[in-house]
Amino acid sequence: MAEAQKTEPLLAILTRQPVIPVVAVASAKEAVSLARALAAGGLPAIEITLRTPAALDAIRAVAAEVPEAIAGAGTILNPAQFAAAAEAGSRFIVSPGTTTSVIEAASDSDVPLLPGAASASELMRALESGYELLKFFPAEQAGGAAFLKSIAPVFPAIRFCPTGGISTKNVGDYLALPNVVCVGGSWVAPKDALSAGDFETVTRLAREAAALKAR
């Protein structure tokens, strides 16, 4: 049952870096520069959210032009978005929640899905669908590291990529937990650096994040 998720290829991506940058890009060109800068700092996997109109072109461009990067898609809310993100070349797909229709879309695809959950019932539903590797979203707002610590004995099989409200200030609290494989966050790609074209700052922030240790 657990194989429903394609856990191994997803884990291979999520365990190679402690932080997955979560980005909303203005253009495919910006995404290519950003993916290069992040990979240079040691964060090859990048979640490009479908929150901007440029996202699918950005995923396509990063997949084609930045071989050292691993382009993933985020903010997938329905099967049509899943299909479009997979077709664009996403190597992994992230959803803020866990719905039957998105799980079905993933089961028809080779691209692994990281679905989201933030309550005991959502975790149980994910387990019923064969999913044990989940996004915890929005992490800080939904109970933070204390939530993940409390549910660990109840859901020993589930491991998380917490995302939402994580920064250099609290990332250590999450990465210290045995049920956390990595975290997602936007702090490594600050908006002001992107609009200024300051990709050196992105590489520096990525290098600092890549040096963090997950358990």
Residue 65 or 111: the one with the smaller Cβ distance to ligand ELE is 111
53-88 burial code (b ≥16 CB/10 A, e <16): ebbbbbbbbbbeebeebbbbbbbbeebebbebbbeb
Q: Which residue is catalytic, options 47, 122, 149, 169? A: 47
- At 4 the three-state DSSP class reads helix
Among 165, 204, 210, 212, binds ligand ELE (CB under 6 A): 165
Residue 156 or 193: the one with the smaller Cβ distance to ligand ELE is 193
Side-chain half-sphere exposure of 4, counting CA atoms within 13 A: 20
Dmax (CA) for the chain in angstroms is 47
Gyration radius of the chain over CA positions: 16
Residue for token digits 């590797």?
133
Query: Please, which residues have CB within 8 angstroms of residue 130's CB and are 6 or more apart in sequence?
Result: 1, 2, 3, 4, 5
Token pair listed for 103? 């799980």
**Residue 115 interacts with ligand ELE (CB under 6 A)?**
no
User: Residue 208 in contact with residue 190, Cβ under 8 Å?
Assistant: no
**Residue 185 interacts with ligand ELE (CB under 6 A)?**
yes
* Count of residues touching ligand ELE (by CB under 6 A): 15
Q: Describe the chain by its helix, strand, coil percentages, rounded to 5.
A: 45, 15, 40
Among 41, 72, 96, 112, binds ligand ELE (CB under 6 A): 96
Which listed range, 25-33, 80-88, 157-165, 200-208, lies at the site for ligand ELE (CB under 6 A)?
Answer: 157-165
Residue 67 or 147: the one with the smaller Cβ distance to ligand ELE is 147
- DSSP state string for 131-147: --EEEETTTTTTTHHHH
Which listed range, 7-15, 52-60, 126-134, 161-169, lies at the site for ligand ELE (CB under 6 A)?
Answer: 161-169
Which listed range, 11-19, 163-171, 172-180, 199-207, lies at the site for ligand ELE (CB under 6 A)?
Answer: 163-171
Among 123, 186, 199, 202, binds ligand ELE (CB under 6 A): 186
Among 17, 75, 129, 203, binds ligand ELE (CB under 6 A): 75
Q: Which residue is catalytic, options 6, 30, 135, 140? A: 135
Among 5, 49, 90, 129, binds ligand ELE (CB under 6 A): 49
Residues tagged active-site: 47, 135
